[in-house]
Structure 1
Amino acid sequence: MRGRRFRLASAALIGVTVLLGCDVSTLAPRKTTVTPEVRPAGLVPPPTPIAVPAPPKTRSAASKGLSDYYARVQNDLLVRGLLRTDGGGPDTVFTDTMLVRNFEQIALAEEYERGAGLKPSSGSPSAVKKWTKPIRMVTEFGAGVPKDQIAEDQARVEAYAARLARITGHPIQMNANDPNFHVLFMSEDDKTKIAPRIKQLVPDVTPSALTVFDDLPRSIHCLVVAFSDTPNGYDYGQAIAIIRSEHPDLLRRSCIHEEIAQGLGLGNDDPRARPSIFNDDDEFALLTQHDEMLLKILYDPRLRPGMSREQARHIVVERATALVP
């Protein structure tokens, strides 16, 4: 299992900007009339001190243990032929009818009760959830994240954001100016920083949401929380994805693909969805052509946040018929 995800509704968001400045001291004179004495011959100037870098932060035994555990998980999945990166093939043919069914289960149902943490949903139908405002994405890395992973993961998120923008036609870009979609890479040693950071980004987040991050079980590989700008709304205004840095390469890429796509509004999983990453069987690691079609349907301009399954169905059927050869 790659991880369990949940989405939350919240009230309007606020941001705080802190500006720092510095003053130049005027106590020391810039000029002097005193003539310095001649330096004695043969005097050797003192050597320039060499800056000694601070020693790297030592990872805890818990973080190292998680790295070993997730390496075994990835290896086990690969040995069993899972975490495919081929996007599907002749063995995963699907029809427009199957695509409609999968869309309704993945985009128009909830995996968890809204605003109730990890409490499983009752299974009742939900509504269309999506972004209507531009998405400004940014990455953040905890102090415990290995330095050699930062540039790699940053580049992957940037490339994936550009791909999602092409697929959906929705404005999605990396932008650190007032970002509204945060992708946090955190290690086990950073876990005490996660809840305070979320509280900082979303001041009115519900307490039940924050308690989830106090002690994440290792069965939760990664997750995303999405917030509307109004209580119990469906028009997303903020999202935060949490990805464990202890994952080996492919599991980390898998988390990037699934959590960011779920943060766009594909909030559920369905065991019949294939080929798809929105399926907890871990057969596919990366976004597939089937999943691209789900996103294209979701971001059809005619589908509006809050539309019920019945209101959306004729649009979904029309788009699925046009998309599936």
Structure 2
Amino acid sequence: MPNGKTPLLRLLILLALFVASVPAAPAVAASANYSFSTEELIDGFMKTVFGLEYRAWSWQPYLVKKYTGTVSFYVHNEARKNRKPVIHQFIRQLNSQIHGLSTRVTRDPDEANFHVHVVDRDQYEDVVRRDVYGDHRADVPGRCLVRVVSDGKGISRSTAVIVSDEGDFLFRRCLVEELLQGLGPMNDDAELAHSVFNDRSRHSRFTTFDKFLLNMLYHPRIKPGMTQDQVAVLLPAIVREVRRYVH
């Protein structure tokens, strides 16, 4: 891991993964008609943006991580079933669902800063070792995962691996959770009942609660490298602004 002159210039390499067992059926999102308090939203932001469910390297995960420019996605469909249309649609929808975020799908993998690998289960370990770790001997955790490379200037690269052939629920759950976590909110918390950032929840869609969190994160006043104390004084006003366009 390269060293810089200050901690904020050192690379932060983080890994988030989905490890829970697959429920029998997806739950209907309970947050659709629920009014979240400012305190709930700030608590959810702090729990997901600061911290990490799985730490691959130990350098300061407790700082804001986000993209500052356009996120260019490339989807590597290595599974038998072609999942590209569904993934491309989800990526394009993020532009209208998250203010302050710009996403696009590129046809050239060299132009991408967010790579999504879609695999069947029997390919999962090999693809993670090759394309995420670059180490053919590495242990491979989780049912799906995302790796983020970040520093004080923001996220420079994300790589997600999603399993296609273990049912549509697991595929959709992994798609939503890993792509959203790859944008910055890397931590899971079992107390977040209305969020996909909770391995015990049964959500498989971009919930209203999570739309609040991502819109708070991509608000222009939130900067990469900010600490919890720096963010805390800004969030009440940011929540009031975000309520105008997240419903």
Deviation at 1:216, TM superposition (A): 3.1
Task: Please tell me the residue identity of whatever aligns with 2:65.
Answer: K
On the 8 A contact 2:126/2:136 being kept in 1, the answer is: no
CA separation of 1:262/1:292 partners in 2, compared to 1, >3 Å: closer, same or farther?
Answer: same
Could you say which residue in structure 1 is the equivalent of 2:96? 166
CA separation of 1:293/1:215 partners in 2, compared to 1, >3 Å: closer, same or farther?
Answer: same
DSSP 3-state at the match of 2:179: helix
Q: Equivalents in 1 of 2:236, 2:104: separation in Å?
A: 29
DSSP 3-state at the match of 1:283: coil
On the 8 A contact 1:85/1:286 being kept in 2, the answer is: no
CA separation of 1:194/1:276 partners in 2, compared to 1, >3 Å: closer, same or farther?
Answer: closer
Question: Residue 24 of structure 2 is aligned with which of 77, 82, 97?
Answer: 77
DSSP 3-state at the match of 1:253: helix
Could you say which residue in structure 1 is the equivalent of 2:5? none
Could you say which residue in structure 1 is the equivalent of 2:120? 187
Deviation at 1:211, TM superposition (A): 5.4
Larger radius of gyration: 1
On the 8 A contact 2:68/2:154 being kept in 1, the answer is: yes
Task: Please tell me the residue identity of whatever aligns with 1:285.
Answer: S
On the 8 A contact 2:114/2:158 being kept in 1, the answer is: yes
Which consecutive residues of structure 1, in runs of 5 or more, have no partner in the other structure? 1-7, 11-69, 199-208
DSSP 3-state at the match of 1:238: strand
Deviations 1:245-302 (A, max 9, x none): 2220121011111100000001101222231111121231211011001011000111
Question: Residue 224 of structure 1 is aligned with which of 125, 146, 168?
Answer: 146
Task: Please tell me the residue identity of whatever aligns with 1:109.
Answer: G
Deviation at 1:111, TM superposition (A): 2.0
Task: Please tell me the residue identity of whatever aligns with 2:115.
Answer: H
> What is the alpha-carbon root mean square deviation over aligned residues?
2.7
Q: Equivalents in 2 of 1:159, 1:297: separation in Å?
A: 23
Could you say which residue in structure 2 is the equivalent of 1:141? 77
Aligned residues: 224
Compute the TM-score of the two structures, normalised by the length of structure 2. 0.80
Task: Please tell me the residue identity of whatever aligns with 1:319.
Answer: I
1:94-113 matches, cutoff 5 A: 94-113=36-55
1:1-325 matches, cutoff 5 A: 9=12, 74=22, 76-78=23-25, 83-86=26-29, 88-89=31-32, 92-115=34-57, 126-142=62-78, 145-146=79-80, 149-150=81-82, 153-168=83-98, 169-177=100-108, 178-190=111-123, 191-198=125-132, 209-210=133-134, 214-216=138-140, 220-228=142-150, 233=152, 235-324=154-243
Runs of 4+ displaced beyond 6 Å? none
Which consecutive residues of structure 2, in runs of 5 or more, have no partner in the other structure? 1-10, 14-19
Bigger relative contact order (CA 8 A; separation at least 6): 1
On the 8 A contact 1:87/1:289 being kept in 2, the answer is: no
Task: Please tell me the residue identity of whatever aligns with 1:221.
Answer: R
Deviation at 1:158, TM superposition (A): 1.1
Could you say which residue in structure 2 is the equivalent of 1:30? none
Compute the TM-score of the two structures, normalised by the length of structure 1. 0.62
Could you say which residue in structure 2 is the equivalent of 1:64? none
106-115 or 303-312, larger mean C-alpha shift: 106-115
Structure with greater strand share of residues = 2
Could you say which residue in structure 2 is the equivalent of 1:26? none
Q: Equivalents in 1 of 2:35, 2:136: separation in Å?
A: 38
DSSP 3-state at the match of 1:136: strand
Task: Please tell me the residue identity of whatever aligns with 2:36.
Answer: F
